[in-house]
Chain A
């Protein structure tokens, strides 16, 4: 073994991550987003060739972190367009006054329940429902009827079977807390949670830990009920090692048994490419990208004209009536609700 002799090779290796692909001619549009964002390459290329522009994507941590960065960079924006503000952060984003209004013509057909900003500074792109998931095989093998509704999991039959995420540290955790607030009301949700605590609920700090650390269908854990997304069973089929006829898990929707996380896109104030930014927003709202979203991010398209892929149609459910909590109420009461939850469940 000799010490590394080819210094040029080493230097090349060092510089590799810093090299940028040769920039094409024309303007560049920077799109800022969070960890979970993804899109198909061929769609990006199509946009670039149609508009003779370059799209530059930057991910800036999780959804909350990315938004705070966008707010802090208000005077000198980091990007032209921001994708990934959800309705739990909607008020914060609008209060910070960092987005330009754009009433896209495509919005007309979108359901009113998704258009939460009447001034169109933030436009809905997709939504996903946070709800309970169960391990089908586990319940079948034990001969126990799985819970059919959110309210069921405090029953003695389901003692020690549920794992949830800590709403103070996890975004599906917060969404599930909001579901219980929307369902049982501000006066009733704490008694539901106290019942859940007495029923030996397990609290994990994040989705990854809950799903891949404790959920029986995806780990060596001992909890057959987990808080996840209504689209998770479809993803479990899509990413199975062998083709599956039936989803190994099932979403428990029920009446007001889920919370709908809606994700928005907005044009950042200070953009030098307002025309191009509007074109990009339309591109995100239009059918091709909307039909691409389900298999890239495992959420549902906001555009009712987009059809769902086969696996989503067959294995995912869209809860008809999610529990509702207004974005303003979320921003206003977040800390108070979280503290009350912490006191009721963890202490």
Chain B
């Protein structure tokens, strides 16, 4: 118990230093300039109807996106947790890849696929002999929602899936023996047991969509804006820091209340149980129904996730005059005298380095936080639970500016240090890790550890021998998303870029900021490298974790 609390201290210290303190500093600086309260900057918040509309749109699009993602991803979670099939590991890695895709690149592949000259429109026009493309789907609410599903599908599938495969099949078998229909078993047994994982996944998706920035800007188009977009606009374009701070606080408050409510409602509702982890849950598909379910899921994933990725790969190999390798040759030819030219190998090494560092830091913090929360219960736990999730719901500009004014003295002058990139990525990633691990930890019956302790096991041994094997799968999912968050992140990485430190997303943006076929082609080639290396890294990570689990048994 005390060890657990001791391990939680670094988490608190990390949060206070790199989150609470800078954020408070920028809010005070903005709202109380020179110590005086000056409401002129934020007066419009109460007088203009614009902000109420903004808040309303931000909320309902996030709710709708979350509902849609759950709707399409839960069947997938079932199939992936239940059945074993060909190249399952590869499918899992592939469907996580969209998570790292920079928004402009995702937008480019969407419009390559759905735009006026894209294959789908061309096909429909040829079939029905139409003059004009029937889909004008390169912007708008439908594309915005589609993109949110595209980005968050794997999150729900993997978080819920990993939890699902840990449910004891004997409960289902017992119910079936007693005469329950499959539908009854699902509604009365499986769903209630799954609820903690579904709630955790839904919460993450909601926060993500609520604070959505690039997706709304590019794919929503100019008619749509979220609070996050407005915070950026107020801070940078209008230099109205008080308004930016007020909106930022509003965003935090709403998310905090929601998270607290979720934690409160979920508290004490969870059933403790455990399964024999030696049995990995999934079985080869038997019967036509199972096979049809697998085929349908894989087809859906191919249409939603793989097709845009394939369109991207195709764009990197396709010039105006036919297939070409010129873009890859251009990337690797190097030789540029430009100071900020970054060789692909350097960008890849930088990205992998930041991502691995982030994964390690986020795993340590997330695990410590989850263990602390799992041991507590009731009101205090709900507060902490919501508090620890806040970094995810925080406006990036606000926090970034907080660093500038708060962390400006040695030994903590981190303003243009590269450690800031890892710290920022870890702040985003560790609530993820915590959310992934917490449901798995909470379902371990306390009696298990108590029994081991009675038999003389030290707390360390109990953790290593009992807890760790039971939450191995959840830790892996957390690690994968921590890694992916860092690989794809652009904002914090571009906040401090030095000539030799550009990551892959930074390099992609650099190419896309100049006109010319080679720039576009090389951006697509660089994006394809990002996809390939992320996919490979995820496969290695999954394999390594899998091996570890096996040797323990």
- CB-CB under 8 A for A35 and B510, given A220-B118, A346-B223: yes
Q: Do B408 and A73 touch across chains, with their CB atoms under 8 A apart?
A: yes
Q: Do B547 and A17 touch across chains, with their CB atoms under 8 A apart?
A: no
Q: How large is the interface on B (under 10, 10 to 19, 20 to 34, 35 or more residues)?
A: 35 or more
B519 contacts A by Cβ under 8 Å:
yes
A261 contacts B by Cβ under 8 Å:
no
B residues near A37, Cβ cutoff 8 Å: 340
CA distance A204 to B408 in the complex (A): 37
- Of B115, B349, B498, B518, which is within 8 A of A13 by CB? B349
- Within B390-429, the residues touching A (CB, 8 Å) are 397, 400-401, 404-405, 408-409, 413, 415-416, 418-419, 421
Q: Offer 7 A-B interface pairs, CB within 8 angstroms, sorted by A.
A: A13-B356, A16-B349, A17-B350, A35-B494, A213-B218, A222-B117, A249-B515
The 8 tightest CB contacts between A and B, nearest first, are: A239-B516, A220-B117, A64-B236, A3-B544, A239-B518, A59-B497, A203-B222, A166-B222
A78 contacts B by Cβ under 8 Å:
yes
Q: Do A68 and B515 touch across chains, with their CB atoms under 8 A apart?
A: no
A225 contacts B by Cβ under 8 Å:
no
Q: Do B354 and A72 touch across chains, with their CB atoms under 8 A apart?
A: no
Known: A16-B353, A228-B515. 19 other contacts (CB 8 A): A4-B544, A13-B349, A13-B352, A14-B357, A16-B349, A35-B494, A62-B236, A72-B401, A169-B229, A203-B221, A203-B222, A209-B218, A212-B520, A213-B107, A213-B138, A220-B118, A222-B116, A241-B517, A249-B515
A residues near B138, Cβ cutoff 8 Å: 213-214, 221
CA distance A242 to B521 in the complex (A): 13
A335 contacts B by Cβ under 8 Å:
yes
Q: Do B513 and A208 touch across chains, with their CB atoms under 8 A apart?
A: yes
- Among A39-47, A147-155, A183-191, A273-281, the one that faces the other chain is A39-47
Least Cβ distance of B159 to chain A in Å? 24
A residues near B418, Cβ cutoff 8 Å: 17-18
Q: Do B510 and A206 touch across chains, with their CB atoms under 8 A apart?
A: no
Least Cβ distance of A264 to chain B in Å? 17
Q: Is the interface of B mostly helix, strand, loop or mixed?
A: helix
Q: Which residues of B contact A (CB under 8 A)?
A: 29, 104, 107-108, 111-112, 115-118, 138-139, 217-218, 221-223, 229, 233, 235-240, 319-321, 324, 326, 337-341, 349-350, 352-354, 356-357, 360, 397, 400-401, 404-405, 408-409, 413, 415-416, 418-419, 421, 491, 494-501, 509-510, 512-521, 540, 543-544, 547-548
Q: Do B233 and A241 touch across chains, with their CB atoms under 8 A apart?
A: no
- Within A32-85, the residues touching B (CB, 8 Å) are 35-42, 44, 56-62, 64-65, 68-69, 72-73, 75-76, 78
CA distance A331 to B349 in the complex (A): 42
A residues near B400, Cβ cutoff 8 Å: 61, 65, 69
B residues near A60, Cβ cutoff 8 Å: 416, 495-496
Q: How large is the interface on A (under 10, 10 to 19, 20 to 34, 35 or more residues)?
A: 35 or more
Least Cβ distance of B94 to chain A in Å? 18
Q: Do B326 and A241 touch across chains, with their CB atoms under 8 A apart?
A: yes
Q: Do B408 and A3 touch across chains, with their CB atoms under 8 A apart?
A: no
Q: Which of A3, A221, A338 has the most CB of B within 10 A?
A: A3
Write the chain B residue with the least CB distance to A15: B353
Q: Which of B324, B337, B521, B544 has the most CB of A within 10 A?
A: B337
- Among A107-115, A230-238, A302-310, the one that faces the other chain is A230-238
Least Cβ distance of A151 to chain B in Å? 23
A residues near B515, Cβ cutoff 8 Å: 211, 218, 228-229, 232, 235-236, 239, 249, 298
A317 contacts B by Cβ under 8 Å:
no
A120 contacts B by Cβ under 8 Å:
no
Write the chain B residue with the least CB distance to A13: B353
Q: Do A69 and B111 touch across chains, with their CB atoms under 8 A apart?
A: no
Q: Do B236 and A21 touch across chains, with their CB atoms under 8 A apart?
A: no
B residues near A340, Cβ cutoff 8 Å: none
Q: Do A65 and B236 touch across chains, with their CB atoms under 8 A apart?
A: yes
Q: Do A61 and B494 touch across chains, with their CB atoms under 8 A apart?
A: yes
Q: Do B516 and A235 touch across chains, with their CB atoms under 8 A apart?
A: yes
CA distance A58 to B341 in the complex (A): 14
Q: Do A206 and B217 touch across chains, with their CB atoms under 8 A apart?
A: yes
* Residue-wise interface mask of A (5-28) relative to B, using a CB-CB cutoff of 8 A (1 in contact, 0 not): 000001001111110010000000
Q: Which of B356, B499, B515 has the most CB of A within 10 A?
A: B515
